[in-house]
Structure 1
Amino acid sequence: MNRKISLTERAYQRLRDDLLTCRLAPGDRINIKEVADDLGFSLGAVREALARLTSEGFVSTDDSRGFRATPISIADMIDLIGVRSQIEGQCLRRAIEKGGLDWESAIVSAAHRLARTPVYAEVDAKRLNDDYAVAHSAFHQALVAACDSIWLRRMRDWLYAQSERYRYLTVPLARVQRDVTREHDELVKAVLARDADRAVALLEEHLMATARILIDREGGSSDAVPAPQQAGLRALGAGGLD
Structure 2
Amino acid sequence: MESPTSLTQGAYVELRSELLACRFAPGEKLKIDDLCRRFAVGSSAVREALSRLASEGFVVSEPQRGFRVAPLSIEALRDLTNVRCNIEGLCLQGAIEKGGIEWQSQVVAALHRLSHTPVWADKAARRYSNEYAKAHEIFHEVLAAGCDSPWLLHLREMLFNHSERYRWFSGPFSKVERDLDREHREIAEAALARDSKRAVALMNEHLQKTASVILDSSLSEREQAPKSAKPRAVSG
TM, length-normalised to structure 2: 0.87
| 1:47 CA drift (Å) | 0.8
Closer, same or farther: CA 197–189 of 1 in aligned 2, 3 Å:
same
> Are residue 113 (structure 1) and residue 113 (structure 2) matched?
yes
Secondary structure at the residue paired with 1:68?
strand
Q: Equivalent residues in 2 for 1:90-129 (5 A)?
A: 90-121=90-121, 126-129=126-129
Any idea what the Cα deviations from partners look like across 1:35-59, whole Å, max 9, x if unmatched? Answer: 1123321111111111111111101
How far did 1:108 drift?
A: 0.5
Which residue is 2:226 aligned to? Answer: none
Preserved CA contact (<8 Å) 2:176 2:213: no
In structure 2, the partner of 1:72 is 72
Matched residue, 1:228: 230
Distance 1:31 1:91 in 2: 38
Q: Output the CA distance in 2 between the equivalents of 1:105 and 1:78.
A: 33
Q: Structure 1 stretches (4+) deviating beyond 6 angstroms?
A: none
For residues 56 and 28 of structure 1, the distance between their equivalents in structure 2, rounded to whole angstroms, comes to 17
CA distance in 2, matches of 1:135, 1:184: 12
Using the aligned pairs only, state the percent identity. Answer: 49
SS at match of 1:171: helix
2:206 is aligned with 1:214: no
Per-residue Cα deviation, 1:85-133 (whole angstroms, up to 9, x for no partner): 1011001001100111111110000010011111222699543322222
On the 8 A contact 2:25/2:69 being kept in 1, the answer is yes
Unaligned runs of 5+ in 1: 233-242
Residue of structure 2 in register with 1:240 after alignment:
none
Deviations 1:166-190 (A, max 9, x none): 1213432446421111110110111
Quick check: 1:12–1:46 contact (8 Å CA) kept in 2? Answer: yes
Structure-2 change in CA distance of 1:124 and 1:17 (3 Å): farther
The alpha-carbon distance between structure 1 residues 199 and 98, as it changes in their structure 2 partners (threshold 3 A), is same
Structure 2: how far apart are the matches of 1:126 and 1:217? 12
Q: Distance in 2 between matches of 1:49 and 1:124?
A: 35
| Count of residues in Structure 1 that have an aligned counterpart in Structure 2 | 226
- Distance across 1 between alignment mates of 2:127 and 2:9: 24
Q: What is the identity, as a one-letter code, of the residue corresponding to 2:182?
A: R
- What are the within-5 Å matches in structure 2 for residues 26-45 of structure 1? 26-45=26-45
Question: Take 1:43 and 1:140, find their aligned partners in 2: how far apart are those partners?
Answer: 36
Counterpart-to-counterpart distance in 2, 1:207 and 1:135: 17
**Paired AA for residue 215 in structure 1:** L
Do the aligned partners of residues 231 and 198 (structure 1) sit closer, same or farther apart at CA in structure 2, a change above 3 Å counting?
A: closer
Distance 2:174 2:187 in 1: 19
Note if 1:130 corresponds to 2:126: no
Offset from partner CA, 1:49-89 (integer Å, 9 cap, x none): 11111111101111325101011100000100110110110
Distance 1:11 1:76 in 2: 27
8 Å contact kept, 1:170–1:210: no
Partner Cα separation in structure 1 for residue 105 and residue 37 of structure 2: 46
Distance 1:114 1:28 in 2: 33
- Would the aligned equivalents of 2:80 and 2:159 in 1 still touch at CA under 8 Å? yes
2:132 & 2:151 partners in 1: Cα distance?
27
What is the match of residue 205 of structure 2? 205
Instruction: Compute the displacement of 1:6 (Å).
Output: 2.6
Say which SS state the counterpart of residue 63 (structure 2) adopts.
coil
CA distance in 2, matches of 1:47, 1:63: 13
Mapped partners of 1:163, 1:28: distance in 2: 19
